[in-house]
Chain A
Amino acid sequence: MDLKRALRRGWSVVSSKYSIYLVLVAMLVANTILSPVFFSARNFSNISRQISITTIIAFGQTMLIIAGMIDLASGSVMALAGLLAVAIYKATGSLMLAMAAGIVIGMACNAISGLVVTKFRTPSFIATLAMQTSARGVALLYTAGQNIYEIGNFTVFGQSAVMGLPTPVIFMLGVTALTWYLLNHTRFGRYLYAIGGNEEAARASGIQINKVKMTAFVASGALVGLSGVLYMSRVNAGLPNAGVGFEFDAMTAAVIGGTSFSGGVGTAMGTLAGAFIMGFLGNIMNLMGIGSYMQQIIKGGIIALAVAYDIMFKSRRAGSNPA
């Protein structure tokens, strides 16, 4: 009787703390049963490569959402940064320079958003909505709406592999580790949680709110720039219309992974798990031959379910503490 209760209590702790990973494992099992081709190294490599670009953006979103902000401009900034990186590569022939330029452009765009947020106290929703439009405009203006082709060796970032691992996946894992480090082991990370959890209390603790918010924007911009380079490289062209809606895919991964839009809550590993859950879902639906319209409906349902499930667990946990 007591053992049973102890086990149940243990389970409730595990399931509430690791609920998202349990979902991931459940999906792995279900998918394996549903399709014979699912469980293979090649398929996993494919899924990882498919999710890598939005996942890199998702880590930037995770940092911003933890601090109580949001970035609606990721998709168009990604396109702009990738596009200009392609142009710089074509002009100079330097891969290093092109990559650096892409990252710097991402940082610059987000620095502007960050400035609008911190100096003029504009909600990030509005500031980045403005950036979304403007960055897309710059990209279209620069190319006159045309795609840039014949990008030569630029494809190395997106299409090569090292020891069987696709390069974008290596970048994604690197960014996972970086985000984990930033959130868990640096002052910056702790300050993000504090600001998102209670900005007033953070300020009263001596934290320079604006500096931290600005850093979060610029860091997230660097990731957006990087993802732009990887994306253009993978599609073999500079596309000014690329990345529409990527910010929402990124947010979906973050939120499914347990990042809370109320701020102060979220982890790097959670976001990675969230990205894989979405990746597995898309993959199994493709393998089962579900049409793309149907896929959208199912995806939406799964997002709502996953978040409702997570909130249910959290409220149960919160309710379980006597005040």
Chain B
Amino acid sequence: MSGTPDSGGRLAEQPLLELRRIEKSFPGVKALRDMSLTLVRGSVHVICGENGAGKSTLVKIVNGVYQPDQGEIRIDGERVVLQDPSQARGHGIAMIFQELNFIPEMTVEQALFLGIEPLNRLRGIDWRKIRRATLALLAREHLAYEPTTLLKDLSVSDIQMLEILKAIACDARILIMDEPTSALTHKEVEILFQKVADLKSRGVGIIYISHRMDEIFRIADQITVLRDGALVETRPARELDIDTVIRLMVGRTLDSVYPPRTTKRLGEVMLEVEGFTRRPRFADVGFHIRAGEIVGLAGLMGAGRTEVARALFGLDPHESGTVKIRGKVARIRNVREAVSQSMALLSEDRRRYGLVGVRDVKENVTLASLARVIYGGWLHKKEERRLVSAVCDRMQVKTPSLSTTVSTLSGGNQQKVVFAKWMLRDPDILVLDEPTRGIDVGAKYEIYKIMTELAQDGKAILLISSELPELLGVSDRIYVMARGRVTGELRAEHASQEKVMRLATRMAEA
């Protein structure tokens, strides 16, 4: 755990990491061209760009997953070749992934020392040493769990913090963070940022990928914007502002982050929920949505919003409560019944609940509406292609072809594929759980636009989001949940971030 910042001298002038004129192509795509980047000791270098701009390819090259076709990588001024991630590790490069990969049944100490277990004299694992080191580390970082706590009992942010600790414990000097805050609450983000500041003071260089503009400007020293695999701009953060970065990213001016509100005519009450209960997750939840209305559901993580959505859609059971659709009581015990009542749910975890990764775009899109293309005992592939291509155009899915494997698409495009799947069913009620998580600004705007268009077509939309500006920007009305209960309802024109947060934390304080 070394890493005192260098005080002047030759080393300090030498950049920690330098990429020179990197080029990388894949069959059919030029992923990166003429990419140069410099990372200084004790600084945060933020990389932004839309999905497919080349951010992932870039960090995978730094992390040794991909090898560049041309160009060179220098660490401390020395040219290095990184054949695989373990070599990158040997040079002090560590990566904190956007989607955490962990073994749920492992304990904290096992996870911390996975792959770097110290050995005792008999060449067995020295568990006593591991226990001592883990205890020391947890105490120093003020972490409240035991070395024997199972990872499955920890929150996402705890596990992420463990990964960061592990990286530092291995003397990482270059840390790559890919969207580290996408699954964190406000409070957890603060803790992460403190950690980042701490790492900076120890001289660690951090490459930080993020879509969240407010974050970027809080922690960035340098900002690099990529577009279509090429570097658009690298500048110190203080010389940039949010509007400029967005403009550089999309290559056009976004008039605003949210589509303009139009005066809407609201229709009948489409969905009405009363006394909806599934203890201990949520109790006595009630709300309604009219046709043509976008209703936001705000709350902190763990407030029970996702659980309500899942039970509503028949993915989880509920104990009591009535659900009325168009004024008629609807019994929903499984997804099929929800779907037949013209409901659709976009899950917060699209990889787990939204997509069949190994199959192609076409099959994923038609999965919930095969009746439209199978008739007379035959799947009509031309008809399928036509339908999918139409809905993908409407959703602006960017994919090489409709036969492309879904897991190879970018996050934003994957989300649009899930959207397309449900649009094909033309549902009346849409429940969108964090629909823009991990998606870049341009794609977010497109998703907001789709939402407002759907509302104009008379759909009822429930939007669950942890991003308050988004909720306030898109919803007509907002319900706030805290600890499994609805604590308040606000009209959009009266709502503010402060009011929502007060309601969201009300029960927690009481």
B26–A197 contact, CB under 8 A? no
B335–A205 contact, CB under 8 A? yes
Write the nearest CB–CB distance from A314 to chain B, whole angstroms: 10
User: Among the listed stretches A182-190, A242-250, A284-292, which one makes contact with chain B, having 4 or more residues with CB under 8 Å of it?
Assistant: A182-190
A203–B315 contact, CB under 8 A? yes
| Cβ-defined partner of B57 (8 Å) among A9, A185, A322 | A322
A202 at the interface (CB under 8 A from B): yes
User: Among the listed stretches B81-89, B245-253, B347-355, B462-470, which one makes contact with chain A, having 4 or more residues with CB under 8 Å of it?
Assistant: B347-355
B357–A185 contact, CB under 8 A? no
Write the nearest CB–CB distance from B302 to chain A, whole angstroms: 21
A207 to B354, CA, bound (A): 13
Among residues of A, the one whose C-beta sits closest to the C-beta of B57 is A322
A9: B residues at CB distance < 8 A: 27-28
B410 at the interface (CB under 8 A from A): yes
B338: A residues at CB distance < 8 A: 206
User: Among the listed stretches B111-119, B165-173, B374-382, which one makes contact with chain A, having 4 or more residues with CB under 8 Å of it?
Assistant: B374-382
Of A189, A207, A262, most B-chain CB atoms within 10 Å: A207
| Cβ-defined partner of B352 (8 Å) among A12, A185, A198 | A198
| Cβ-defined partner of B358 (8 Å) among A190, A265, A321, A323 | A265
Of A205, A262, A321, A323, most B-chain CB atoms within 10 Å: A205
B449: A residues at CB distance < 8 A: none
Write the nearest CB–CB distance from A124 to chain B, whole angstroms: 19
Write the nearest CB–CB distance from A99 to chain B, whole angstroms: 24
A201: B residues at CB distance < 8 A: 352-356
User: Among the listed stretches B120-128, B187-195, B282-290, B363-371, which one makes contact with chain A, having 4 or more residues with CB under 8 Å of it?
Assistant: B363-371
B374–A206 contact, CB under 8 A? no
Among residues of B, the one whose C-beta sits closest to the C-beta of A323 is B56
A206 to B344, CA, bound (A): 10
B358–A264 contact, CB under 8 A? yes
Write the nearest CB–CB distance from A169 to chain B, whole angstroms: 26
B75 at the interface (CB under 8 A from A): no
A318–B408 contact, CB under 8 A? yes
B336–A320 contact, CB under 8 A? no
A13: B residues at CB distance < 8 A: 27
Interface size on B, residues (CB 8 A): 41
| Cβ-defined partner of A320 (8 Å) among B27, B352, B355, B356 | B27
A253 at the interface (CB under 8 A from B): no
Contacts A198-B352, A203-B315; is A321 near B367 (CB within 8 Å)? no
A89 to B435, CA, bound (A): 62
A323–B356 contact, CB under 8 A? no
Chain A residues 291 to 323 lying within 8 A of chain B, measured CB to CB, are: 318, 320-323
B339 at the interface (CB under 8 A from A): yes
B27–A194 contact, CB under 8 A? no
Write the nearest CB–CB distance from A126 to chain B, whole angstroms: 20
A204 at the interface (CB under 8 A from B): yes
A184 to B359, CA, bound (A): 13
Contacts A184-B379, A321-B26, A323-B410; is A202 near B367 (CB within 8 Å)? yes
Among residues of A, the one whose C-beta sits closest to the C-beta of B54 is A322
A150 at the interface (CB under 8 A from B): no
A206–B368 contact, CB under 8 A? yes
B363: A residues at CB distance < 8 A: 190, 193-194
Write the nearest CB–CB distance from B247 to chain A, whole angstroms: 24
B358–A187 contact, CB under 8 A? no
Among residues of A, the one whose C-beta sits closest to the C-beta of B350 is A201
B357–A321 contact, CB under 8 A? no
A206–B336 contact, CB under 8 A? yes
B29 at the interface (CB under 8 A from A): yes
A122 at the interface (CB under 8 A from B): no
Contacts A197-B357, A198-B356; is A186 near B408 (CB within 8 Å)? no
Among residues of B, the one whose C-beta sits closest to the C-beta of A263 is B358
B408–A12 contact, CB under 8 A? no
A263: B residues at CB distance < 8 A: 358
A263 to B359, CA, bound (A): 11
Among residues of B, the one whose C-beta sits closest to the C-beta of A208 is B336
A187 to B31, CA, bound (A): 37
A323–B60 contact, CB under 8 A? yes
Of B27, B29, B338, B354, most A-chain CB atoms within 10 Å: B27
Write the nearest CB–CB distance from A1 to chain B, whole angstroms: 15
B41 at the interface (CB under 8 A from A): no
A204–B315 contact, CB under 8 A? yes
Write the nearest CB–CB distance from A163 to chain B, whole angstroms: 28
A185–B370 contact, CB under 8 A? no
B370: A residues at CB distance < 8 A: 187, 190
A189: B residues at CB distance < 8 A: 379
B345 at the interface (CB under 8 A from A): yes
Contacts A9-B27, A190-B379; is A202 near B408 (CB within 8 Å)? no
B421 at the interface (CB under 8 A from A): yes
A208 to B338, CA, bound (A): 13
Contacts A9-B27, A321-B408; is A193 near B56 (CB within 8 Å)? no
A320–B26 contact, CB under 8 A? yes
1/0 contact string of B13-55 vs chain A (CB within 8 Å): 0000000000000111101000000000000000000001010
B410: A residues at CB distance < 8 A: 323
B26: A residues at CB distance < 8 A: 320-322
B408: A residues at CB distance < 8 A: 318, 321, 323
A200–B358 contact, CB under 8 A? no
A194–B336 contact, CB under 8 A? no
1/0 contact string of B377-412 vs chain A (CB within 8 Å): 111000000000000000000000000010010100
A322 to B33, CA, bound (A): 14
A201 to B357, CA, bound (A): 10
A201 to B408, CA, bound (A): 17
A262: B residues at CB distance < 8 A: 358
A207: B residues at CB distance < 8 A: 335, 367
A206 to B425, CA, bound (A): 12
A193 to B366, CA, bound (A): 13
| Cβ-defined partner of A197 (8 Å) among B56, B347, B356, B368 | B356
Chain A residues 252 to 282 lying within 8 A of chain B, measured CB to CB, are: 260, 262-265
Chain B residues 473 to 509 lying within 8 A of chain A, measured CB to CB, are: none
B367–A205 contact, CB under 8 A? yes
A172 to B460, CA, bound (A): 52
A12: B residues at CB distance < 8 A: 27
Of A186, A203, A206, most B-chain CB atoms within 10 Å: A206
A159 to B379, CA, bound (A): 36
Contacts A202-B367, A323-B57; is A193 near B339 (CB within 8 Å)? no
Chain B positions near chain A (C-beta within 8 angstroms): 26-29, 31, 52, 54, 56-57, 60, 313, 315, 334-336, 338-339, 345, 347, 352-359, 363, 366-368, 370-371, 374, 377-379, 405, 408, 410, 421
**Contact sample, A vs B, 30 pairs, CB 8 Å cutoff:** A9-B28, A184-B379, A185-B377, A185-B379, A190-B363, A190-B366, A194-B356, A197-B356, A197-B357, A198-B352, A198-B358, A200-B352, A200-B353, A201-B356, A202-B356, A204-B313, A204-B335, A204-B345, A204-B354, A205-B367, A205-B368, A206-B336, A206-B339, A206-B368, A207-B335, A260-B358, A320-B26, A321-B26, A321-B405, A323-B56
| 7 cross-chain pairs, A with B, having the tightest CB-CB distances, nearest first | A197-B356, A321-B408, A206-B339, A185-B379, A264-B358, A322-B31, A204-B353
Further 7 A-B residue pairs, CB within 8 A, beyond A190-B366, A204-B347: A9-B27, A190-B370, A193-B363, A194-B363, A204-B313, A204-B353, A321-B408
